[in-house]
């Protein structure tokens, strides 16, 4: 069933980071804002980043699997918030060690979902570039109506990620075209609640063409899917 009208989330109103750091994954990562953000936090002496040699290096933040403070944070916030999950990393980070094991174990993702499932007063945004791991693990996760799933798509070659999003089991799903780096072909929006569109920020930002946005807007309107311009 399509949803029309207003947008159901505000973009990036808060964040929760039981793990941080990442590896550049696609062309959309070329000028990754998270690198600058995490380095700024390190310079300001903010924990846990102040103690990291490279805050963009993937970290489970001092073993929160054993130290529950960061994992339990949403349970301690009473006022309802819209929370982006690990948006300076990836909720489905998929790099592996030399033994072929995920640096981010399935158990950590499952624990994060368990915590999110206990706090229905919040709305969690789980947005990933790594659609293969979403497809692998998503159907096994305890999605709740307040846990939204999204994939980031910056160019036409990444449109196949949509199939992982549609089949992941989430009850609410959207596409984030950010940074939008080219014109998108028409695609099937069945099962998608809305799309968000944004350009790249920062001194080296690649330009986003207005025609690319207009095409997505026209397609969304014809499909009765809401659209939000991020930047």
Looking at the domain assignment, is residue 183 inside a domain? Answer: yes
> Is 9's pLDDT higher than 80?
no
Looking at the domain assignment, is residue 8 inside a domain? Answer: no
Looking at the domain assignment, is residue 173 inside a domain? Answer: yes
pLDDT tens profile 126-177: 999 999 999 999 999 999 999 999 999 999 999 999 999 999 999 999 999 9
Whole-prediction pTM: 0.86
pLDDT tens profile 46-80: 877 787 788 778 887 644 444 455 566 777 777 88
Looking at the domain assignment, is residue 171 inside a domain? Answer: yes
- Three-state secondary structure along the chain? CCCCCCCCCCCCCCEECCCECCCCCCHHHCCCHHHHHHHHHHHCCCCCHHHCCCCCCCECCCCCCCCCCCCCHHHHCCCCCEEEECCCCCCCCCCECCCCCECCCHHHHHHHHHHHHCCCCCEEEEEECCHHHHHHHHHHCCCCCCEEEEEECCCHHHCCHHHHHHHCCCCEEEEEECCCCCCCCCCCCCCCCEEEECCCCCCCCCCCCHHHHHHHHHHHHHHCCEEEECC
Q: How many domains, in total, are found in the chain? A: 1
Looking at the domain assignment, is residue 95 inside a domain? Answer: yes
Looking at the domain assignment, is residue 133 inside a domain? Answer: yes
Domain limits for position 183: 15-229
């Amino acid at each position: 069933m399509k949803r029309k009208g207003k947008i159901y989330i505000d973009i990036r109103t808060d964040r929760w980071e039981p793990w941080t750091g990442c590896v550049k994954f696609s062309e959309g990562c070329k000028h990754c804002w998270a690198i600058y953000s995490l380095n700024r936090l390190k310079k300001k002496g903010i924990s846990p980043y102040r103690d990291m040699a490279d805050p963009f290096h993937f970290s489970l933040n001092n073993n929160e699997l054993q130290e529950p403070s960061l994992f339990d944070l949403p349970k301690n916030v009473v006022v309802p918030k819209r929370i982006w999950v690990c948006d300076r990393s990836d909720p489905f980070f998929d790099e592996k060690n030399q033994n072929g094991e995920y640096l981010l174990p399935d158990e950590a993702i499952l624990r994060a979902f368990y915590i999110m499932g206990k706090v229905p007063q919040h709305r969690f945004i789980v947005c990933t570039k790594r659609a293969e791991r979403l497809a692998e693990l998503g159907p096994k996760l305890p999605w709740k109506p307040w846990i939204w799933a999204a994939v980031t798509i910056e160019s036409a070659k990444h449109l196949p990620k949509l199939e992982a999003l549609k089949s992941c089991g989430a009850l609410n799903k959207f596409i984030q075209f950010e940074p939008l780096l080219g014109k998108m072909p028409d695609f099937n929006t069945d099962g998608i609640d809305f799309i968000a569109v944004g350009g790249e920020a920062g001194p080296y930002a690649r330009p986003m063409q207005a025609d690319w946005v207009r095409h997505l807007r026209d397609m969304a309107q014809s499909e009765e899917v809401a659209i939000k311009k991020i930047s």
